[in-house]
Structure 1
Amino acid sequence: MSRFAILDTPIVDLKIIERQQLGDSRGFLSRLFCAEELAAAGWRKPIAQINHTFTQKSGTVRGMHFQQPPHCEMKLVTCLRGAIWDVAVDLRAGSPTFLQWHAEELSAANRRALLIPEGFAHGFQTIHDDCELLYLHTAFYTPEAEAGLNPNDSKLSISWPLDIAELSSRDAQHPLLDHQFKGMML
């Protein structure tokens, strides 16, 4: 019996994962990850790293982060507490959805996750205070491969649901896209 529903988004390979919750009077069980079941959604590598984040203030934006080849990573992002507007931008050179973005509300209540393939930038905005996220990664964090897009870039036109209340100086300093950006060759 599958514990996941795998839903397509308008961007090829970017998937929404809905978790089945089994519960009774004691509480519930929800499977967070199963390599065998998520292979159907494109997850084919081992988990290299698991990160847990806490963001205190509603309206905070974190992102839009990615790692450059050959250190690209697939991510499975889950909101454990609160709610976020989770955004992925297609950076794959030659993709028919190149530089298009898709967002999903992820929350503790809806038990959805976003499975973000290699070649995407990722970020989120908290839409409640005190949000906690769990990230599963297929590649180790490699500082020299780290890159990002500016969350306010007009070429992306990301529709953040709230005014941006807080943004790190690092994220605010990511460059704006120009005509020279051709994407990532995977």
Structure 2
Amino acid sequence: MTGSGAALALAIRNTDPFVAARRGDGTLLPDYLDGHRILGDPGVLAAAAAELARRIPPGADHVAGEAAAGSGLAISVSLAALDQGRRLAARTLRREPKVHGITGVLSTAVPPSSNFALVDDVAGTGACLERCTLRLRELGHHIVGAWVVVDRQNGAAERLARLGVPFAALLSIDELRTTRSN
């Protein structure tokens, strides 16, 4: 790993992103990668958003993430794209449809058949990105790809490939661990 990937890995390492956490079944995970810690650092967020904006192809009209980390990252990527001279509208996908105000799973109205780039802080199994893909497709939109800051390498790439969605990560968890141990 060289260049911007190495610099980003080092910056992420400095956020101390590995924490002890519990799974839903109560199992302790002593070295859990906390995506919120990563993107809570404004320098890391800005660097990751700028790199993601560079990687999203010109065919994308919107960048979206699921409510919580994904939506904040989508907004940051949208702003970074604007700094790079490109308009890429940010959208939030809700887990549950809203029944008042702007209803549905999208935070704002979007023209039919729009092209979406999905973003998230960390991908594990890819369940969140799959859910976003299926929701947007149900609404008649197209997914140009999915990008994450760190891939935990727990099957996200394979899951999205089955849906025909290109997937890429700025870093793998192995690259991050290697940087962390230096």
Fold-level match, TM-score > 0.5?
no
TM-score normalised by L of structure 1: 0.26
Bigger helix fraction: 2
What TM-score results when the alignment is normalised by the length of structure 2?
Answer: 0.26
